[in-house]
Chain A
Amino acid sequence: MTTPVSGVPAIEITGLSKSFGTVRALDGLDLTVMPGEVAGFLGPNGAGKSTTIRVLLGLLRADAGTARMFGRDVWHDAVALHRRIAYVPGDVSLWPNLTGGECIDYLTRLRGSGDRKALRARRAELLERFELDPRKKARTYSKGNRQKVALVAAFLSDAELYILDEPTSGLDPLMESVFTAHVREVKEAGRSVLLSSHILSEVEKVCDTVTIIRNGAAVEHGTLDELRHLTRSSVTAVVGADPARVSALGSLESVNGLRTTTSDGTTQVTFHADNARIGEVLRALPGLDVHGITVTPPSLEELFMRHYGDVIEADEAAAENAGQAGSR
């Protein structure tokens, strides 16, 4: 199989909307995944990740907007497109009376099997790496093991695009790293991946680009570097200068949330600096007798929280109110 390098996006969604009754699950979502790209798809439960994926799979019909995979309509060409993709749901349900091995074989055969011998070897390898016993009845599998069945079936198919909807929920950390390794393999082979998740460290490890979705619309999209560039790094410095001079830093436009603590004649100063104007900060620092400095780019979690910070604040406020009401 040749590496797909054509310019046609693996996934191209524009202005996608979908409502269930009065609930607006998707509200003008845009999302693009280029060939060979591993795209992270972030958002808390209920943000619309699974709805998006079901639209992509041709299971749900969009109310407005377009969704295409490899340039073809996801609804009309569903069956043809499904020959080129592999899918892992977040909550896997299997046929209780079949064994895990039977489920894997059945799902694999639905795609039409290619080279039988190679397939068998690959199957054995995947079963071993995911430590899955294929002889157990599906009804007796734990959530993690059912997830493994779906993962093995997905990685067994030689797909051009892998659509993974919270694929590691229920997996232990060891299995999670096996999963990460497989995503990297797939990426090296030039395939595309859409990884929906709320495990940010996982996304940070394997994804090239990230889309953050909120209330059914994308609120952030770009490579991790781009996203970081648009945001602030946190700076911690230990300085020997007079605290009064240090607090003058706060007047710089690029500095936010300045805090200082003084002990034993040195002052520890922490603040957030706009990445785009970090030079301003660097020019101001030499006069402060810097003993040590660390500059940390924002973690994905911080990026994520910037978009959901208000939710958390509202929650905290609500908790506080409830606490006050309770103490009254």
Chain B
Amino acid sequence: MSAVVTAPRGGRTAASSSRSTLTGTGRLVRFMLRRDRLRLVIWTAVVVAVYAASFAPDGEYEVLRDDAEAREKRALVLSAPVMTMLAGPGYGLDDYTMGAAVANELILWLVLTLAVMSILQVVRHTRSEEESSRAELVRAGVVGRHAPPVAAMIVVTIWNVVIAAASWAVFVGMGLPARDSFAMVAGLALAALVYAAVALVAAQAMESGGGAIGVAFAVLGGTYFVRTLGDLQERHGGALSWFSPIAWVQQTRAFVDLRWWPLAWCAVAAVVLLVVAGMLASRRDFGAGLVAVRPGRAGARPFLRGPVALAWVRQRAGMLWTAFGLGVFWLATGTILEQVPEMGEALAENPLYARMMAGTEAEQIRAFAGMIGLFAATGAAAYAIVMGTQVKADEETGRAELVLARPVGRVRWLAANTLVTLLGAVFVLAVGILAMAWGAELTGLEAVGPGDFARLGVAYLPAVAVYAGLAVAVHGWAPRATGVVWAVFGWSLAVGILADVLGLPDQARALSPFWWVSDVLTEGAEWGHVAGLAGVAAVLLVLGLAGFRRRDVPSV
């Protein structure tokens, strides 16, 4: 590459040639920020909302401020090994102040959130752009070889700084010490940047955007497990913990006994990863990766011979990962059911849980398990919606046309996708409920037995099917309105969590399919309603198939 051409003012050839690979970085940064302005707002709002929910008046952290008894109880709950999996290494448990609780319990989740955001963001602007031919258009302009990745890193840094600044304002506004707050939000941003750098390396190595995201997520998952194992080994973190950026933030002991040096590890790791990414980027060709895509099968397996088989091939990976991810989560939840009454006293003042925490210990546990069952069903419903609306993309891209131009009827095609989606949702729900039952079994819980869990799963199944039916019905009649399905889902989530807090009337609650099931473990399920929901699901399904039979494909 000629330095003279790309850097007209470059008198010193060496210096200008290294700069020329960065030509255009500033313009790219502006362009990316413009493209992502809405995303930035949404992600910032999500993080701020997490804080707002945590710090609400009478919220779980606010009560710790003046109530020594509440602090002790919460510390007791958090010292359980299972809680180590879901929180931090437990600094400050002997004097569990509001700040200590925030740091111990929130850092893990915030690092995970920010890391996911940063990984998606980096890959979106690097490998995914390269994979589509958009980056080719950009690189054909006056843009240096390293400008796109550098611009992507600058943008993701700006994002994290903005979010950190907003977070810091919230912390200080809550009356938390400014210095410790700064250490925590800066640590979160630095850890997020480590994962951004991981994503950048992955983007050099893998040939597809999906592959790069997969590798970066695997690293994120790995560092989570390393941190968890280390923290379980030893109170306040063992040797293993120190291999994880999550731990580096937690080990600052913010709000307890602040130390800054663990954050240096974040900086060192980020710099090393960026250097590696730079070296890889300089060596490889545009569009190429280090890990060549392996050639696949030259021919299809014998079983791939119909729409059901194809739907299965396409959905199975998503199904297994969802079931595994949610399963681990519900397993962990199952193991803490036993401790609900202990938490209960602290939670009783929280209007979210107040109704649940009346009654005997066994009743409290049953009420809590019922709520978790509802959440497991909600997860399965989300899965059903995601998979059930995939047919929309098939239509938009023309894949549906390719199949429907063969002797495959429309009803057969849509019904095949829906059938596999439904079975997948059943699987996700069953695994979730079984995992929770297993967790409860491990801790010897007696208040909720295997029969209860089974009843829970069966009672919620038709409600989950209603979502699959709704997805098909909307797709059959108004494929552009899939947002409606998510709106109903969002509403039932709100009803599930906030109905009592907001004092919603029953008419409003009735819009949530889950509401009809009632409290399965305390009052007993309304089996008549459950059967009714199954009927509704069937009607929606038939309606959707009928609508799909008569409309244009793709509908314009």
Q: Are A99 and B409 in contact (CB under 8 A)?
A: no
B179 to chain A, nearest CB (A): 49
Alpha-carbon distance between A79 and B314 when the two chains are bound, in angstroms: 24
Contacts of B398 in A (CB 8 A): 89, 91-93
Contacts of A150 in B (CB 8 A): 402
- With A82-B407, A109-B304, A111-B407 in contact, is A61–B295 under 8 Å at CB? no
Contacts of B404 in A (CB 8 A): 57-59, 78
A193 to chain B, nearest CB (A): 15
Alpha-carbon distance between A97 and B390 when the two chains are bound, in angstroms: 14
Interface of B, secondary structure class, is: loop
Q: Are A101 and B297 in contact (CB under 8 A)?
A: yes
Judge if B310 is at the interface, Cβ distance under 8 Å.
yes
Alpha-carbon distance between A97 and B405 when the two chains are bound, in angstroms: 21
Contact indicator per residue, chain B 428-469, by CB within 8 Å of chain A (1) or not (0): 000000000000000000000000000000000000000000
Judge if A139 is at the interface, Cβ distance under 8 Å.
yes
Contacts of B297 in A (CB 8 A): 99, 101-102, 135
Closest to A96 in B: B210
Alpha-carbon distance between A93 and B401 when the two chains are bound, in angstroms: 9
Contacts of B304 in A (CB 8 A): 102, 105-106, 109
Alpha-carbon distance between A233 and B11 when the two chains are bound, in angstroms: 64
Identify the interface centre among B208, B305, B405, B553: most chain A CB within 10 Å of its CB: B405
Judge if A137 is at the interface, Cβ distance under 8 Å.
yes
Contact indicator per residue, chain B 543-556, by CB within 8 Å of chain A (1) or not (0): 00000001111101
Partner of A101, one of B299, B305, B407: B299
Closest to B207 in A: A140
Alpha-carbon distance between A89 and B299 when the two chains are bound, in angstroms: 22
Contacts of B208 in A (CB 8 A): 139-140
Judge if B306 is at the interface, Cβ distance under 8 Å.
yes
Alpha-carbon distance between A137 and B372 when the two chains are bound, in angstroms: 41
Contacts of A92 in B (CB 8 A): 398, 402
Partner of A135, one of B298, B305, B401: B298
Contacts of A79 in B (CB 8 A): 407-409
Q: Are A105 and B296 in contact (CB under 8 A)?
A: no
Contacts of B402 in A (CB 8 A): 87, 89, 92-94, 107, 150
Q: Are A102 and B552 in contact (CB under 8 A)?
A: no
Alpha-carbon distance between A83 and B305 when the two chains are bound, in angstroms: 15
Partner of B399, one of A83, A93, A134, A163: A93
Judge if A314 is at the interface, Cβ distance under 8 Å.
no
Q: Are B553 and A98 in contact (CB under 8 A)?
A: no
Partner of B313, one of A21, A98, A101, A107: A98
- With A61-B552, A98-B313 in contact, is A135–B407 under 8 Å at CB? no
Identify the interface centre among A60, A82, A91, A102: most chain B CB within 10 Å of its CB: A102
Q: Are A95 and B314 in contact (CB under 8 A)?
A: yes
Partner of B299, one of A54, A95, A105: A105
Partner of A110, one of B306, B397, B556: B306
Q: Are B300 and A95 in contact (CB under 8 A)?
A: no
Alpha-carbon distance between A139 and B305 when the two chains are bound, in angstroms: 21
A58 to chain B, nearest CB (A): 8
Judge if A136 is at the interface, Cβ distance under 8 Å.
yes
Partner of A59, one of B305, B401, B407, B550: B401
Closest to B408 in A: A110
Judge if A286 is at the interface, Cβ distance under 8 Å.
no
Contact indicator per residue, chain B 285-309, by CB within 8 Å of chain A (1) or not (0): 0000000010111111000111000
Q: Are B300 and A57 in contact (CB under 8 A)?
A: no
Judge if A112 is at the interface, Cβ distance under 8 Å.
yes
- With A102-B300, A102-B304, A135-B295 in contact, is A82–B401 under 8 Å at CB? no
Q: Are A134 and B306 in contact (CB under 8 A)?
A: no
Contacts of A135 in B (CB 8 A): 295-298
Partner of B397, one of A20, A93, A98, A104: A93
Q: Are B296 and A99 in contact (CB under 8 A)?
A: yes
Q: Are B407 and A95 in contact (CB under 8 A)?
A: no
Alpha-carbon distance between A139 and B408 when the two chains are bound, in angstroms: 24
Partner of A60, one of B293, B406, B407, B552: B552
Partner of B553, one of A59, A87, A95, A133: A59
Closest to B556 in A: A20
Judge if B161 is at the interface, Cβ distance under 8 Å.
no
Contacts of B313 in A (CB 8 A): 97-98
Closest to B411 in A: A79
Judge if B419 is at the interface, Cβ distance under 8 Å.
no
Alpha-carbon distance between A20 and B555 when the two chains are bound, in angstroms: 9
A91 to chain B, nearest CB (A): 6
Closest to A138 in B: B296
Closest to B405 in A: A87
Judge if B403 is at the interface, Cβ distance under 8 Å.
yes
Closest to B550 in A: A61
Contact indicator per residue, chain A 58-89, by CB within 8 Å of chain B (1) or not (0): 11110000000000000000111011010101
Partner of B300, one of A54, A78, A106, A163: A106
- Among A122-166, those with CB < 8 Å from B are 133-137, 139-140, 150, 163
Identify the interface centre among B397, B402, B403, B552: most chain A CB within 10 Å of its CB: B402
B547 to chain A, nearest CB (A): 13
A63 to chain B, nearest CB (A): 11
Alpha-carbon distance between A18 and B304 when the two chains are bound, in angstroms: 36
Alpha-carbon distance between A20 and B552 when the two chains are bound, in angstroms: 10
Alpha-carbon distance between A80 and B208 when the two chains are bound, in angstroms: 40
Contact indicator per residue, chain B 195-224, by CB within 8 Å of chain A (1) or not (0): 000000000000110000000000000000
Contacts of A80 in B (CB 8 A): 407
Q: Are A78 and B409 in contact (CB under 8 A)?
A: yes
Contacts of B399 in A (CB 8 A): 93-95
Q: Are A110 and B407 in contact (CB under 8 A)?
A: yes
Q: Are A106 and B299 in contact (CB under 8 A)?
A: no
Q: Are A136 and B405 in contact (CB under 8 A)?
A: no
Q: Are B299 and A134 in contact (CB under 8 A)?
A: yes
A21 to chain B, nearest CB (A): 8
Contacts of A57 in B (CB 8 A): 401, 404-405
Q: Are A83 and B407 in contact (CB under 8 A)?
A: yes
Contacts of A106 in B (CB 8 A): 300, 304-305, 310
Alpha-carbon distance between A240 and B207 when the two chains are bound, in angstroms: 70
Alpha-carbon distance between A104 and B293 when the two chains are bound, in angstroms: 20
B319 to chain A, nearest CB (A): 14
Contacts of B401 in A (CB 8 A): 54, 57, 59, 89
Q: Are B406 and A107 in contact (CB under 8 A)?
A: yes
Alpha-carbon distance between A101 and B300 when the two chains are bound, in angstroms: 7
Closest to B304 in A: A106
Contacts of A95 in B (CB 8 A): 310, 314, 399
Contacts of B556 in A (CB 8 A): 20-21
Contacts of B553 in A (CB 8 A): 54, 59-60
Closest to B287 in A: A140
Contacts of A110 in B (CB 8 A): 305-306, 403, 406-408
Alpha-carbon distance between A93 and B299 when the two chains are bound, in angstroms: 18
10 additional contacts, CB 8 Å, given A110-B306, A110-B403? A20-B556, A21-B556, A60-B552, A82-B406, A82-B408, A87-B406, A93-B399, A98-B296, A137-B293, A140-B208
Q: List 26 A-B contacts (CB under 8 A).
A: A54-B553, A57-B401, A57-B404, A58-B404, A60-B552, A61-B550, A61-B552, A78-B409, A80-B407, A89-B401, A93-B398, A94-B402, A95-B399, A98-B300, A99-B295, A101-B300, A102-B297, A105-B299, A105-B300, A105-B304, A110-B305, A110-B403, A134-B298, A135-B295, A137-B296, A140-B293
- Give me the 6 closest cross-chain CB pairs, A-B, nearest first: A105-B300, A135-B295, A99-B296, A93-B397, A87-B405, A110-B406
